Amino acid sequence: MKSYVIIGLGRFGSQIARRLYQLGCDVLVVDNRQELVQHISNEVTQAVVGDARDKDVLKALGVADFDCAVVAIGDSLADSVLATMNLKELGVPYVVCKAFDETHRQVLMKLGADKVVIPEQEQATRLARSLVSPNVLDYIELAQEYGIIEVPAPAVWQGKSLKELNVRAKLGVNIIAVKQERSINVSPAAEYVICPGDVMVVLGGMDALSAVQKL
């Protein structure tokens, strides 16, 4: 079972904590606001009132034994910096931080954060992509040049097998999964025949993904 410690119980931290717990993970949440800790206490493994800026508090909670820590204190640069420094110094193997802008992100990365997210920016990117390409159901940017899209199976693909389509050679993309109404086929076989209603999960470069969207 994976174990996580979530620092900060604002909307972002609370949602992550609840979702991880629902997925069967061991989740410890820490916040210095008692009312927020009490509110979530029945929805996580353990909820503690404490100040993550104090290294001794985190040490006493045994944070070094967790697989990952999420610093969800996005509205205070000083607080998130101190919490991140404490977690790294205590030896937490993987630290993810929330930032409120690019400067905040760069500071946290220089402190050793393994991953920094700017939720509003990422949501804006996904929304913009969906507005420009209405047929795209979801979009995840992996890097500046690569991404994953979910798109309804183009009509020209339907009734054909993946082997016949050979999209890797022809379009430079990979079909990594096919979603159906009640199931998902991960790494579908070459013999899989695409059906109406299938949703294709496609990985590739931005230009190649744009070509798929135009089919």
Please identify, in words, the CATH class of the domain defined by 3-117: alpha beta
pLDDT at 3: 94
Whether 137 and 152 have beta carbons less than 8 Å apart is answered as yes
pLDDT at 198: 93
**pLDDT value at 23 more than 80:** yes
**pLDDT value at 57 more than 90:** yes
178 against 126, higher pLDDT: 178
The residue with tokens 């009132």 is: 49
CA 49/CA 184 separation, integer angstroms: 40
Tell me what the pLDDT averaged over the chain comes to: 87
49 against 120, higher pLDDT: 49
The pLDDT of 107-112, averaged and rounded, is: 89
pLDDT at 120: 74
The pLDDT of 104-116, averaged and rounded, is: 89
Whether 115 and 134 have beta carbons less than 8 Å apart is answered as no
CA 59/CA 147 separation, integer angstroms: 38
The fold of the 124-213 domain, in CATH, is Alpha-Beta Plaits (3.30.70)
Domain residues of the chain, as ranges?
Answer: 3-117, 124-213
Please state the pTM of the whole predicted model.
Answer: 0.62
Whole-number percent of the chain with pLDDT over 70: 89
Whether 26 and 3 have beta carbons less than 8 Å apart is answered as yes
